[in-house]
Structure 1
Amino acid sequence: MSSTFPLPTISTINAVSSKPPSSSSTPTTTPFVDKISLFLDKSKSIHHILQIHAAILRNGLDQHPILNFKLQRSYTSLGRLDYSRSVFNTFDNPNVFFWTSIIHGGGDVVSARQLFDTMPEKSVVSLTTMITCYAKSGDVDRARVIFDDMDDRDVVCWNVMIDGYTQHGRPNEALELFRKMLSEKMKPNEVTVLSILSACGQLGAIESGRWMHSYIENNGIRLNVQVGTALIDMYCKSGSVEDAELMFDRIKNKDVVAWNSMIIGYAMHGFSQEALQLFSRMCALGFQPSDITFIGVLRACSHAGLVEKGRQFFISMKDEYKVEPKVEHYGCMVDLLGRAGLLDEAYDLVKSMKMDPDPVLCGTLLAACRLHGNIALGEHIAEFLVNKNLANSGTYILLSNIYAAAGNWEGVARMRTMMKDSGIQKEPGCSSIEVENKVHEFLVGDLKHPKSKDIYLMLKDLYRRLKEDGYTPQTNIVLHDIGELEKEQALGVHSEKLAIAFGLISTQPGTPIKIVKNLRVCTDCHTVTKLISKITGRKIVMRDRNRFHHFVDGSCSCGDYW
């Protein structure tokens, strides 16, 4: 057979057998059946599949199990779920594999569930398929109901459920389920490991991540490039660039994904020169940078304020490396230009885009307006987002910040009213810290933690020492027209401050404290954390929505530029 796959036609298919089998006799395999089966495996065109389907019907093979299964699968893969369902409905005796295939390609979770409920016999495979449908749609709670009701679960089923939690921002539940998996003597595999490392990275749970690394080493799970890259990503997101570097150096036959993970890791920690040097080394070794590579490179430039280098990389990615800029690359450039105060250039760049700006990019430009107090441009961007139904809580909060900094409380009140009328809820600030392999989460003003009394006593002592050191609360960032004392009290119970206080009372003196914040750290918390690192002699590593901050002896690795 030639290497080029020939275009199938009815005539070429029929020509395979001079005497096609009758409808009363459908042997499992004949040269004719084998030929059609091969066409179904290789053809990626709906036109070709329709011709093959016609040949199957002409030759009385409409009840052939293998051909029908492959025909159904081909239609599903090409997005023709109506044809796939038709093949399924006209087959007399579908087995569990047919049912599972049609459920998996049902198109939406409602249709899949309807098929699942009519299935005469449910196997581990079909149950896992339904769990997959729910998990992919984001309804992990319903997926968990099916999972918990199963009498017999294989490793694939565990992996689907764990990955569902991980992919939909519920990493704590992924780790809890993994522990349950181990307690039930189910052996994890490489797929399990990749999901759990991702969950650890989301949480910044380095102790759990290190335990997972040890488990990999001691239980025969192959440390290939995929697992090694997942470890790099986990260590970077958990605050240990040193461990990430060690793993990067250990990986043999690195691919571009591994290089990207390390470059992005350096960038998110503000180690911009290291990121750019690694990029140069990567290119010198003959690797072709991808669009992800340039996101890391441009972020590195942004976090260091390297405006000219950023401009050069943005131009070269298309002209030299033939990588077409995406909205994420424009977002990096807007961040770089905006934080450098080049708001007009940033705005012109957005207007020059071939694609429509997304809420993240507009939010980045809006944040630059807040940083530099440009009310006029900020209002213009916010109006654009509202008119396009792209506004989120961040849109209103950023514009409120701009108004508050200018003392425009009427504007702040108007933003609050617009949020309420739009039904948009402000995303609550949440900070987490891992102590003894357990992740503790705090919201602003949180009183639910068992050690709340001790946490607030520690905060009280810290503030006494901070004020002795000259600290003045930055009450101008509080978005409420209230008295100074109330503003100080509101600032004093931000979630990251509670997490730091808990870390101080729960770990040994001199031990580094690592915090993960879901939002951008505010200027007051940034100032306070610098001072705490000085008066306690502790290194504090904080990951916020934008980047990492390493606080040591009163200074931050970001150089107050974030």
Structure 2
Amino acid sequence: MSTAAAALLPSPGPARQSPAGGQHATLTADRAAALLAGCASARRASELHAAAVRAGVDRDKAVDFRLQRAYAASGRLDLAVALLRRAPDPTAVFYTSAIHAHSSRGLHLPALALLSDMLSRGLLPTAHTLSASLPACNGLAFGRALHGYAVKLALSGDSYVATALLGMYARAGDAAAARALFDEMQPEPHVVSVTAMLTCYTKMGALDDARSLFDGLPRKDFICWNAMIDGYTQHGRPNEALRLFRRMLRSDVEPDEVSVVLALSAVAQLGMTESGRWLHSFVKNSPRVRLNARVGTALIDMYYKCGSLEDAVAVFNGLNDGKDIVVWNAMINGYAMHGHSRKAIEMFSQLRAQGLWPTDITFIGVLNACSHSGLVDEGRKLFKSMEQEYGIEPKIEHYGCMVDLLGRAGLIEEAFDLVQSMKKVKPDAVMWVSLLAACRLHKNMALGQRIADYLVANGLANSGMYVLLSNIYAAVGNWREVGRVRSMMKASGIQKEPGCSAIEVGRRVSEFVAGDTSHPRTDEIYAKLEEVMSVVVREHGHVPQTELVLHDLDEAAKEKALAVHSEKLAVAFGLISTPPGETIKIVKNLRACADCHAVMKLVSKITGRRIVFRDRNRFHHFVDGACSCGDYW
């Protein structure tokens, strides 16, 4: 017996109740195999293993096989493999079980190593062996080799193997090979194969092809529905995802936990609180969906992204003892996004006190919290603790948080030094954009130009970088360089993303862009905006921040351009469309405009309204003339 397995065996001692059920009962091979069936506890498996050794039946093939499966099911893959290695004559079934145990847990290289060991012993793989091995193929080279082997063994037509091959091509992004294989399964492909083909299309963004396949299915199970809804959600088409979810409700297929989580993700993208509340109510009344950690996490994520932090906290508190680290991570991110940085850091201490171990996602949350409030010392300390205390190697996201934290705090040179010190990971576009934004914010134009020249020279500049570079030049009045950069953008086919603000009123979302006149109530919107702005300027002395208009215009034209920003139009629409005293919630796709930020503070004071505004980075809560961000964003 292996050292690892032997270590689990209880030492011989006085007679005691045996796992077989009697104090001195003789344990037969059949009885041991029966007891091991369905065993998923490492402790129970080791007790049964000890009893099998004492009874001399541990070398029985059925017992040996069940022991391997029991150890694998309990997570002790090391002991399962140790038993496999010491088996005198392991069969393909033994290896297949071990391969599946590793592959299903994402341990791809060990799974393929076991397959290689099996083949080197001269054992031929079965259809189940290949279908267990193919999910471990992350690249096309090995996957195609297994496909060829399946053809050679006349196993490629097996439904399980064909579906696994389809999944392999789908993961590798080879839609042509996947479709060719799928067409060979006609006229009646297995529903799992259909789902794999749907997943392939949705992963590659071919949503129209996916929808065509989906609509053509005579029978759809909930997995097919979920694959299609997931495709829309993952590719930024949340409206279609929600429409499909509602259609699913009208079908004869009842949504499951995954369906609800995907729908909540779509709602979070849209920022539609009322739709989120409706889904929450659905969960409470659904006989099939339980409010467990997974659904609870999706609800927390949805509520805080829709601006309802109080509801997110209520869901978190209501989960009682069912809170795992993923739930805590969601709540920490919620507090960070809403500017409650100290609370986010406090939660980090609380989860540690409860014996939970932080993950890399936990640190993204707390580092973001530090960034949003300028907690530089806390951020530095947490960043250092990742490796020193928790053994977590910082990823690109963690470096990005630190660059953002230092840049916002005006420590741009330190942020630049951090980027230059990165060895194991390369700086990404988000990090460079963050540095350029910090240069513009703190008017360090020399470093901004240095960074921009480096990015352009190395072909690393993207649309966001070009826009920031243009803005840096415009901020210092260098219109010649502004023109040059914009010409470069035009020549490269790069377009600036237009600002868009959305507001939900009565479950209907209205969207506005700067100077928008497409809304049916445009005249009322502009009349209300003019009324509010006159009070803001006349009674509160607001001076339009025309330096933010980065075009070579006169002051009057700049003021006019500022006055019709999308945020201001959305606020005006909210004022005429909702009852007095009701909170106005707005979502914008870009960073908040500083002038609009100042105006919304004053509007909250003048009207007595609470305004919750979500931009690309965080939430701003405007109440009685002040913002939750403390003007630090």
Q: Does TM, normalized by the shorter one, top 0.5?
A: yes
Q: Which residue of 1 aligns with 2:532?
A: 462
CA contact (8 A) 2:130 2:146 kept: no
Task: Check if 1:113 corresponds to 2:182.
Answer: no
Per the TM alignment, residue 516 of structure 1 is displaced from its structure 2 partner at its CA by 0.9
- Whole-Å Cα distance in 1 between the matches of residues 132 and 378 of structure 2? 53
Q: Residue in 2 aligned with 1:157? A: 224
**2:118 match:** 52
The aligned counterpart of 1:274 is 343
CA pair 71-279 structure 1, distance change in 2 beyond 3 A: closer
Aligned match of 2:93? 34
> For residues 497 and 202 of structure 1, what CA distance do their matches in structure 2 show?
21
| 1:538 positional shift | 0.9
Q: Deviations over 1:77-115 (max 9, x none)?
A: 996111222133235471443332222212312221222
1:517 to 565, 568, 588: 588
Name the amino acid aligned to 1:152.
R
1:406 aligns to 2:476 (yes or no) = yes
In the alignment, does 2:144 pair up with 1:82? yes
Distance 1:345 1:34, change over 3 A: closer
Q: What amino acid does structure 2 have at the position aligned with 1:188? A: P
Query: Partner residue of 2:164?
Result: 101
Distance in 1, Cα, partners of 2:616 & 2:231: 22
CA distance in 1, matches of 2:132, 2:153: 13
1:250 is matched with 318
Report deviation, 1:130.
1.2
Given the alignment, which residue of 235, 240, 244 partners 1:177?
Answer: 244
Cα deviations by residue, 1:375-419 (Å, 9 ceiling, x for unpaired): 111011112222333322211221222222212211221221121
Give the conservation status (yes or no) of the 8 Å contact 2:98–2:111.
no
Provide the residue aligned with 1:536 in structure 2.
607
Structure-1 residue corresponding to 2:196: 129
Structure 1: gaps of 5 or more residues: 17-31
Distance of 1:76 and 1:335 partners within structure 2: 33
Q: Distance in 2 between matches of 1:318 and 1:389?
A: 33
What is the SS of the residue equivalent to 1:491? helix
Residue 47 of structure 1, CA deviation: 4.5
From 294, 297, 310, give the equivalent of 2:366: 297
- Contact 2:134 2:168 (8 Å CA) reproduced: no
RMSD: 2.4
**Residues 359 and 385 in structure 1, CA contact (< 8 A), matched pair in contact too:** no
Residue 7 of structure 1: how far off its partner (Å): 9.1
CA contact (8 A) 1:41 1:70 kept: yes
Structure-2 residue corresponding to 1:143: 210
Displacement, 1:76? Answer: 7.0
Aligned residues of 2:99 and 2:111 also touching (Cα < 8 A): no
Question: After TM superposition, which residue ranges in structure 1, 4 or more long, deviate above 6 angstroms?
Answer: 76-79
Q: CA deviation at 1:40?
A: 4.3
Match of 1:19 in 2: none
Q: Does 1:429 find its partner at 2:488?
A: no
Provide the TM-score with structure 1 as the length reference.
Answer: 0.90
Provide TM-score, normalisation by structure 2: 0.80
Mapped partners of 2:346, 2:94: distance in 1: 54
Aligned AA for 2:628?
S
Render the CA deviation track for 1:247-306: whole Å, top value 9, x for unaligned: 111112311111111111111111111111111111122221222112221222222222
Equivalent in the alignment of 1:25: none
Q: Equivalent residue of 2:203, what SS?
A: helix
- The answer as to whether partners of 1:88 and 1:102 remain within 8 angstroms in 2 is no
Change (3 A) 1:455 1:124: farther
Task: Work out whether 1:326 is the aligned partner of 2:395.
Answer: yes
- Structure label with greater radius of gyration: 2
CA displacement 1:8-65 (0-9 Å, x = unmatched): 79x978x45xxxxxxxxxxxxxxx453454354356353442453466xx67x67x54
Aligned to 1:391: 461
Which one of the candidate residues 236, 244, 265 is aligned to 2:304?
236
The answer to whether the 8 A contact 2:92-2:118 is kept is no
Alpha carbons of structure 1 residues 339 and 326: separation in structure 2 relative to 1, 3 Å: same
**Partner residue of 1:439?**
509
SS at match of 2:422: coil
1:143-196 deviations in Å (ceiling 9; x for gaps): 112112222211111111111111111112111111121122431110011111
Opposite residue 190 of structure 1, the aligned amino acid is: E
- Deviations along 1:337-394, one digit per CA (max 9) or x if unpaired, are 2222211112112111222211111111111100111111101111222233332221
Classify the secondary structure of the residue corresponding to 1:488.
helix
Task: With a CA cutoff of 8 Å and minimum separation of 6, indicate the structure with the bigger relative contact order.
Answer: 1
Matched, 1:314 2:386: no
* Letter paired with 1:560: D
